[in-house]
Every structure is written in structure tokens, then in C-alpha cells.
Amino acid sequence: MSGPESLSVVQPLLGRRMRLTALPPRVLRRVALVDPRSGGLLDDALCVVLRAPASYTGEDTVELSCHGSPALLQLVIERIIDAGARLAAPGEFTRRAFLNGRLDLAQAEAVALLIGARTERAVALAARAVAGALSERLRRVHDGLLDVVAGLEVTLDFPDEHVGLEVEPAVKTLASLCDEVGRVLEAARRGHAAHAGLTMAIVGPPNAGKSSLLNALLGRERAIVSPLPGTTRDVVEGVIVLRGVRVRVLDTAGLGAARDPIDAEGMRRTRMAMAESDALVVVQDGSAPIDLAVLAETERRPRVLVRAKSDLPADSSHRGNAAVAVSALSGAGIDELLAALVDMVQVCAGVDGDEGGLVATLRQIELLDALQGALERSVAALVSVPLEGALIDLREAMSVAASILGIDVGEAVLDRVFSSFCLGK
């Protein structure tokens, strides 16, 4: 419970023997919860009081830890609502923390990322963002912009006094800030990929060994395997974790000449899977001639080449090929393939443990991209147009940076940010 009336709302559940106002803050106490209606015992629980402003929300807060019976918890909630409380809206606790200055908006959005993290690396990146890793770097950019704008406005107002900031050092400062935003944007994109996970599609001609390879990577029989070509008609998927990044692996229908309408539909879905994937695993049957059409269709995409069925005699067309040789039957080459996939994950999502690792929401990434563009236009404008014109782009850059940090944002932005939160938190 959070809000100025939290203590008075919870007090009826504690009866007359225990006074919440007498409890020292941040001390966990064992309490008996009673039904305010009947006076009967509800639960033997734990209670802690957090006084404003030293709480998550910056408001008076009371936390009750009850036993896990759904019926009991529902009853306690009903009695609290009877006393004048209401259920929190999605993200309302974090929204109050932002409005009360306990978090900036970048940190508040990171709370949602932390709640939704599905791997250890995603947890680590989100926790770093909650602690202010992204905010600190963006605040330095915002403050640097503020200094430049203030200095140039003084120069504009007093052109003959030789005060304020000259154009040349302003350009140098802005170029440095633009480079920093570029580094932040790149790290944020990689961090977002690590948080959201990557998608890799296994593609190749029919009967190349794609389904067997999926099963070998997953360590279980997820896809149907048959010596008959065209067994896989629809996309089958599984999930593996590589270096702390969740990777969704798609087994697809073989690419080639369609034998019937179902084959054609399977290939259409394969190409859809390829379009949505971050990288491809291109599988060729090592005992058959290389399918050059598949290689040509995938050459412009990040990919790992695989020569499957390495336990069979290799076709001469594979000599000198840089593909990873794999046998799903014996397991040979699977470790080498996993190492190649880890390298691909590193390209797409960075590596765990890098101190510059950041994670950001799509909203923040869009704004970082806009901020970089505004800074680039500002640098160009300072050397080509009157100072008044350059200041327009500079103020836009400041406005974008402020939007990321939550400085002077409107209700519509806050509604968008917190609508994705779970109830309460």
C-alpha cells in the first residue's frame, strides 16, 4: 500500500493491540491480521512500514507478507479496499516513484525491462539500467547541450562583448556529444537484442538435415525427421540460450522447386521466417552437390554455413568450403557449430560482462536515433547557417534528450510508458 493514508488504511487489519504509527520504519514485525468485520483471526503475517520520502514510491508505504493462500490474499485485499484503498494501475508504483523524483524516466522504464528479463544477461543489463547506467550517460549529454545552447545564446545576445561561446568550440563539443550518443545507441541496440532475444532460421534445400540439426541443438526431438524430402512443411521452433542471450531457432521447409501448393506455401513461410530472423543457419547436405541457389539467396544476410551429414562421404563440391561440418547422428561438430553461433550472437547482441553494456526500450532507441540526427544537423547548421537557425536544431536535441530522461514530459508519454507494466509495480 502506497500513499499518504497507507497507515490508516491498514490499521483496521491489526486491531487495537498494534499501532502502525508506533512501529519504527524499515523494521520487519510479526503481526496478527484480523478481520475488521468479524474480529476473527485472518493470518499470522509480517509487516514493515516505510516512511516518505525513503520508500520506493517516495510516499508512506506499508508492506504485508501473508501466507500464500489465494483465498486469504483476496480477503485481505478486499478488507484493505473496504478501508478506502484501491487497486493500483499498471506501473503505478513506479510511476509514483518517477513523479516523486525517486527515479528518472529512463530508470523507470528499466524496471519493466527487469521484470520481463528472461535470461541472466538480460537481468544484469536491466539491473544496470535501473541503477542509472543509461541515465548517467544521457544526463551528461543533456547537460553538455545545455551549456552549448546557453553559451551560444549569450553570444547571440551580446555579439560585440566577446562573451559566451564561439562557434568553433561549440562545433567541437557537439561533435563529441554526437559521438557519445552514437556509442550509447549502438550499445542500446545490442542490449535490446540481448534482452528481447534473437531469432535464427535454419534454412536450406529439402532433406539437407535441418530438422535433425534443430533436434541436436535443442537436445531433444522437437521436429519430425524423415529421409523423405519435404517432411517439414511448416515452421517449427525451439529455444536455446547462448552466452546469456535467448535464441529462438526456427526449422523451416526446404527451398527449391515446389512440387505442389503445400510445398509452395511452406517455402513462402520459410522466406517469411528468414525475413524476421536476425541471422540464418544455412544447411547443405554434405553428401550431395552444393545448392548454389540457396547460397545466393542468403548471401546478403548474417549467416553460419553448415555442412550436414558429415558422417557420410563428402561430395566433391564441398571441398574448400568454410562451412562447419556437422553430423546430427553422431553429434560430431555440434560444439563447433555452437561456438560459431555464439560468435554470431556476439555480433548481434554483444557479449556478457562488458562494462559499456546497456539496455533500452524501443521508445528510448527511437529517441536516441532522433537525438543523434538532431546533433548531426546542429553541427552542420553551425558552420553553414546563421546562429539563430542552428539553435533550432540544438533546442530540438535538448528536447529529445529531456524526453528520454523524463524532463518536462506530458501525461500521454507517461501513459504509453507505464501501460506495458504489470499491475501495481
pLDDT of residue 231: 47
Q: Burial level of 265, CB count in 10 A (0-12/13-18/19+)? A: middle
**Residue 253 DSSP label:** P
Does residue 302 sit in helix, strand or coil? coil
* Number of Cα atoms under 13 Å in the Cβ half of residue 399: 10
The answer to whether residues 170 and 382 touch, using CB atoms and an 8 Å cutoff, is yes
Residue pair 120/244 in contact by the 8 Å Cβ criterion: yes
pLDDT at residue 355, as a whole number: 52
pLDDT at 228: 46
Strand, coil or helix: 292: helix
Q: At what angle do helices 167-196 and 362-382 cross, to 10 degrees?
A: 160
Cis omega before residue 53 (within 30°)?
yes
Q: What pLDDT score does 160 carry?
A: 66
C-alpha span between 72 and 76 (Å, rounded): 6
Take residue 414 and report the three cell numbers written for it: 507517461
CA distance 292 to 290: 6
> Strands, E, within 186-269: which ranges?
198-203, 236-242, 245-251
Going from the N-terminus, what domains does the chain have, and what CATH number goes with each? 6-87 (3.30.1360.120), 107-194+361-418 (1.20.120.430), 199-349 (3.40.50.300)
Backbone angles phi, psi at 158, to 5 degrees: -130, 70
**Residue 423 pLDDT:** 65
Amino acid type, 146: L
**CA atoms of 316 and 269, how far apart (whole Å):** 32
Percent of the chain with pLDDT over 90: 56
53 grid coordinates: 520520502
Q: How far apart are CA 2 and CA 100, in angstroms?
A: 12
Extract the residue ranges of the chain whose pLDDT is less than 50: 223-226, 228-231, 352
- Quickly count helices (H) and strands (E) in the chain: 14, 9
Type of residue at 200: M
Cα-flanking dihedrals φ and ψ of residue 408, to 5°? 60, 50
The pLDDT of residue 351 is 57
Q: What are phi and psi of 50, to 5 degrees?
A: -120, 120
First to last CA, the chain: 11
Which residues make Cβ contacts (< 8 Å) with residue 323, sequence separation at least 6? 284, 305, 306, 307
Give the ranges where 33-132 is alpha helix by DSSP (H): 70-82, 92-99, 105-116, 120-130
